[in-house]
Amino acid sequence: MDYEDMEAAVLKGFVRDRQLITIALNQGFSPELLPSPVARRLCNSMIDLYLARGGEVISEVTVRNHLETQGALNAEMEHYLRAVLAMRPPDAGRMMTYVDSLRNRDSRERLQTLHDQLGAFLGGGDGAQGDLIQFTTEMLHKLIELQKRRVRQHIGPVTDVIASLTEDVARLAGAGGILGFSISPFERLNALLSGLRRGFYYGLAGAPRRGKTNFVLELAMHVATNHHVPCLYYSWEQTSRVLAARLLAKETGIDPATILVGGKPGGEPITDRLHAAQERMARFTPYLFLVEGSRQDTLNRIRTHAYNIMQEFQTNDIAIFLDYLQKIPLDDHMDDWKARTDLISTALAELSLELNIPVFAISPLDKEGCRLDERPAEAEQEYSEYARPTMHHSMGSGDLEYDLDVAMVLAKDWKATGELHQFLETRAKSANVDPDTIPKIDIVNLFVDKNRDAPAASSYIVQYAFFVTLNKFVELDYKQTKEYQADFHGFAKLQQIYAYLLDTGLLTKPEPART
């Protein structure tokens, strides 16, 4: 596509969709990038309408009326406007490509002009006899102006920031102190993180079988439910069918394997339960996108997907979840695993800031981290909150924890898991119930090891019951430091956990068998 068609396509996008104007302006677009005077006049009219008309759609009729009011709808403008309206409108991803191309062309043309002026001065042209200091000063001003045009971020005084914060107070007054997207019913983690915040980069590490994918999938589900904002969940590990089965399992209480095979042979039909669950899940499913990651889904492709979804939903609010970080493909091959991980992590941090959205990435642990998590504390060892993996044990980790705004690690609490299993087994035996019918539950601790701008909290460890077969997490409580002490008696807490799980309906009270 030549530059004239590119300009016309950009302007057709502006007529078609206000969100495209928002995206383009945020990425440094200005009418001066269009060399054609008639294109600049039309573009200025569209931006005037965009700024003056709030939520109104910019249509062909409103553009024509505005041009007539300005006295700008002459024969030349009429001819150009018809050409623009005949173009195919771009989606948000193509719009970004066109804006970048126009900015690059503008920069090259300005550099060429400076090159010609410098050559004329040095070659004895009209400016050769001028003052050297004056000439170089003018050239420096033009270079600085060119540099400003290439920088997307607007730099302003702190006055602007303080004014924005003051205006946000009223908006946040009813949000319960949560700065980001609420992840309720994970209330303790919600308070600890102040929700999933815009412009923040989150990381979650853990050993295999600790439920990393299920946990992050639940976070995406909660954001989509609570806010009706698009959530993109990329997986390079699971298919969309498997992930959807896990979502159904959380809602129905039927394990994903049974759902995928259509029910147990000779068992009760599950179709009605699935249809009922599907209706209940409609509160979030239109906003949750499960993407099977491929070699083509590089960070540039993910950015394009994000812009297109933002355009489709007419919103700047979106959340991205990545499972997992080390699987994200790069445009160019890189053998160094550590350098590759660092490059991806840095790019994700930049993406969260560029789009001003939460970006959440999962990371597996290396062999040492898995060993720390999979070996339960032996009797002679001290039961300690520090005898566990950290984000530094992430596979290929180098500067990963330094890039992250929030670093979290899931680790199995072997002691609490064993005590809960023994407690449930005792309850079952006292009621003459087969202990094999007890659901498999792991007590998992979520350690929030880094939490930028963190609000005050009673603990940085949140404890969950992970129902392994149902792929479901239930938030229990904070885990306090005193619980690691040798003289701590956890029976009262076990009773509280048991009562809570009965209330949720995920556990049923064992009833004695009738004789």
Q: What is the pLDDT of residues 322-376, one digit of tens each?
A: 998 999 998 888 888 888 888 999 999 999 998 999 999 999 998 888 888 886 6
Q: Using CB atoms within 10 Å of the CB of residue 359, give its burial: 0 to 12 exposed, 13 to 18 middle, 19+ buried.
A: buried
Type of residue found at 446: L
**3-class DSSP state of 58:** coil
Task: Give CATH 3.40.50.300 domain extents, the chain.
Answer: 187-504
The pTM (predicted TM-score) of the whole model is 0.81
d(CA 233, CA 221): 10
d(CA 47, CA 444): 53
Chain centroid offset of residue 362 CA? 12
**What's the pLDDT score for residue 178?**
82
d(CA 204, CA 389): 12
**What's the pLDDT score for residue 428?**
81
**What's the pLDDT score for residue 320?**
97
Burial 31-61 (b: 16+ CB within 10 A, else e): eebbeeebbbbbbbbbbebbeeeeeeebeee
CATH code reported for the domain at 187-504: 3.40.50.300
| Beta-ladder partners of 446 | 410, 462
| Beta-ladder partners of 233 | 290, 321
Chain centroid offset of residue 99 CA? 24
| Beta-ladder partners of 365 | 394
Q: What is the dihedral of CA 82, 86, 89, 90, to 10 degrees?
A: -100
Instruction: List the structure tokens of 191.
Output: 């308070």
Type of residue found at 418: G
Q: Residue 462: left (phi > 0), alpha (psi -120 to 50), or beta?
A: beta
**What's the pLDDT score for residue 380?**
46
Residue with tokens 């959807």: 244
What's the full length of the chain, in residues?
515
**What's the pLDDT score for residue 123?**
76
Residue 340 sits at φ, ψ, to 5 deg, of: -65, -45
Q: Using CB atoms within 10 Å of the CB of residue 72, give its burial: 0 to 12 exposed, 13 to 18 middle, 19+ buried.
A: middle
Upstream peptide bond of 234 is cis (omega within 30 degrees of 0): no
Q: What is the dihedral of CA 115, 120, 126, 132, to 10 degrees?
A: 80
**Nearest residue to 103 via CA among 47, 4, 34:** 34
Residues of the chain under the 50 pLDDT cut = 127, 379-380
Instruction: List the structure tokens of 186.
Output: 């994970």
How many of the other CB atoms lie within 10 Å of CB of 385?
17
CATH code reported for the domain at 3-150: 1.10.860.10
d(CA 464, CA 487): 23
Residue 434 · residue 466 · CB < 8 Å:
no
